[in-house]
Amino acid sequence: MKTAHLTLDPAFRIGTIDRRLFGSFVEHMGRCVYTGIYEPGHPRADELGLRQDVVELTRELGVTVVRYPGGNFVSNHRWEDGIGSRETRPTRLDLAWRSIETNQFGLGEYMAWVREVGAEPMLAVNLGTRGLAEAVELLEYCNYPGGTQLSDLRVKNGDTDPYGIKLWCLGNEMDGPWQIGHLTAQEYGRRAAETANAMRRLDPTIELVACGSSGRHMPTFGGWEATVLEHCYDLVDYVSMHAYYEEHDGDLDSFLASAVDMDAFIEEVIATADHVKAKLRSRKRLRISFDEWNVWYQSRFPGEAALEWRQAPRLIEDEYSVADAVVVGSYLISLLSHADRVAVGCQAQLVNIIAPIRTEPGGPAWRQPTFYPFAQAAALARGEALRVEPVAPHIDTRAYGPVPAVTAAASYDAESGRIALFAVNRDRTGPLELSVDARAFGPLRTGRHLVLADDDVRATNNLAHPDRVVPRPGDGARLDGGTLTVTLPPTSWNVLELTTTESA
Would you name the residues annotated as active-site residues? 173, 292
The span from the CA of 428 to the CA of 326, in Å, is 11
H helix or E strand, kind and range, residue 385: strand 384-386
Contacting residues for 166 by C-beta, under 8 A, at least 6 apart: 120, 205, 206, 207
Exposed/middle/buried for residue 415 (C-beta within 10 Å: 0-12, 13-18, 19+): exposed
The span from the CA of 289 to the CA of 242, in Å, is 9
3-state secondary structure 196-207: HHHHHHHCCCCE
Exposed/middle/buried for residue 318 (C-beta within 10 Å: 0-12, 13-18, 19+): buried
Exposed/middle/buried for residue 204 (C-beta within 10 Å: 0-12, 13-18, 19+): exposed
* Exposed e or buried b per residue across 108-143, where buried means at least 16 C-beta atoms within 10 angstroms of its C-beta: bbbbebbebbebbbbbbbbbbebbbebbbbbbbbbb
The span from the CA of 460 to the CA of 41, in Å, is 29
The span from the CA of 487 to the CA of 458, in Å, is 22
The span from the CA of 174 to the CA of 242, in Å, is 12
Q: CA-based angle 347:290:498, to the nearest 5?
A: 70
The span from the CA of 157 to the CA of 153, in Å, is 6
- Among 403, 100, 71, which residue's Cα sits nearest to residue 261? 403
As a whole number of Å, the end-to-end CA separation of the chain is 35
Whether the Cβ atoms of residue 109 and residue 38 lie closer than 8 Å to each other: yes
H helix or E strand, kind and range, residue 92: strand 92-94
Q: How many CA atoms lie within 13 A of 46 on its CB side?
A: 13
3-state secondary structure of 434: strand
Number of H helices and E strands in the chain, helices first, is: 10, 25
